[in-house]
Amino acid sequence: MMLPNEYTPAAQATLDGTLWVEDGIPYMVYCHEWLQCINGTMDAVRLKADLSGPEGVPFTLFKASEGPWSREMVSIGELTYGLSLPGQVTDGPFLFRTQTGRLGMLWSSWGDQRYAQGVAYSASGKLRGPWIHEQEPLNPQNAGHGMLFRTFEGTLVMCLHVDRNGRKPQLLQVDDSGDRLRIVGPFRP
């Protein structure tokens, strides 16, 4: 979903905004679209306390090319609108803390097996990072835009969209008890 420009710079094509509150301060984390900047970025902007707009200047958290598993689209033969366009994608930020308090971010890009779900962790424990990317995607199997939720029974689940004969949801049970997110297996209610 493209974001309204009253929250992000008018000259930027942006999408996939998500809210993060750190030390009582709200931020919107979003993607600067790769179609405009070729090497997509994950950016953030501080918001007013009432969330009515930005308060401050946006800043970049990382570039798509910093993810060791992220691939340039032409290099893997991926087409956009039927065209072979160069670029590396940042999509679908979702921030979380592990049970040990480590700040992580789910994010998506293209990988060796098409669309992939990656994860990065903040070395400082703060939004500004620096962000350290896992060497391999968390889920490389043509699925992404992951989000986490807990069931009423307390099970941690990651919901992704997977592209198999059309986009469909995929639910995976995950574990956040250590310093990193780990996939346990398919979620079975």
The string of pLDDT tens digits covering residues 39-70 is 999 999 999 999 999 998 999 999 999 999 99
How confident is the model at residue 105, as a pLDDT?
Answer: 98
What letter represents residue 35's amino acid?
Answer: L
Query: Would you kindly state where each structural domain of the chain is located, as residue ranges?
Result: 14-140
Q: Kindly report whether the global pTM for this prediction surpasses the value 0.75.
A: yes
Domain 14-140: CATH superfamily is Glycosyl hydrolase domain; family 43 (2.115.10.20)
Q: How does pLDDT run across 135-147, given as a tens digit for each residue?
A: 999 999 888 999 9
For residue 21, what are the contacts with CB-CB under 8 A and spacing of at least 6? 27
121, 67 in Cβ contact below 8 A?
Answer: no
